Amino acid sequence: MLGFGKQTAIGTGRAGRGALLIGLLFGPVLLGGSCASVRADRQYVGPQDLPPALRTYYSYPKRPIEARVQVTKQTEHYDILRIEFPSALNVFGSEDIRVDYYRHKDAGRHPTVLLLPISGGIDFAVRSFARLFTSHGINCAIVHNRKVKVEQTQSAEEVEAYFRQTVIDERQVLDYLVARPEVDPNRLGCLGLSLGGIKASLLAAVDGRLKCAVLGLAGGSIADITMFSAEGRLKNYIESLEDLGVSRHFMHAELWEKVQTDPLRLAPYVDARKTLLFLAAFDQVVPAWTGKQLRQAIGGPQTLYLLAGHYTSYLYLPCAQWESLRFVKKKLDMD
At 162-193, the pLDDT tens digits run 999 999 999 999 999 999 999 999 999 999 98
| Domain ranges, residue 193 | 21-40+65-331
Greatest Cα-to-Cα distance within the chain, rounded to the nearest angstrom: 62
CA–CA gap between residue 187 and residue 203 (Å, rounded): 15
pLDDT given at position 325: 97
The stretch 208-216 carries a mean pLDDT of 97
283 found inside a domain = yes
195 found inside a domain = yes
- Residue 163 Cα distances to 22, 45, 259, angstroms: 11, 28, 8
pLDDT given at position 233: 74
- Residue 288 Cα distances to 43, 94, 137, angstroms: 24, 34, 34
CA–CA gap between residue 325 and residue 170 (Å, rounded): 21
Number of compact structural domains in the chain: 1
Q: Reply yes or no on whether the pLDDT at 15 is more than 80.
A: no
8 found inside a domain = no
pLDDT given at position 244: 87
56 found inside a domain = no
CA–CA gap between residue 41 and residue 277 (Å, rounded): 13
6 found inside a domain = no
35 found inside a domain = yes
The stretch 297-320 carries a mean pLDDT of 90
Where is 191: in which H helix or E strand? strand 183-193
53 found inside a domain = no
pLDDT in tens, 24-69: 333 333 334 456 788 888 999 999 999 999 999 999 999 999 999 9
CATH of the domain at 221: 3.40.50.1820
211 found inside a domain = yes
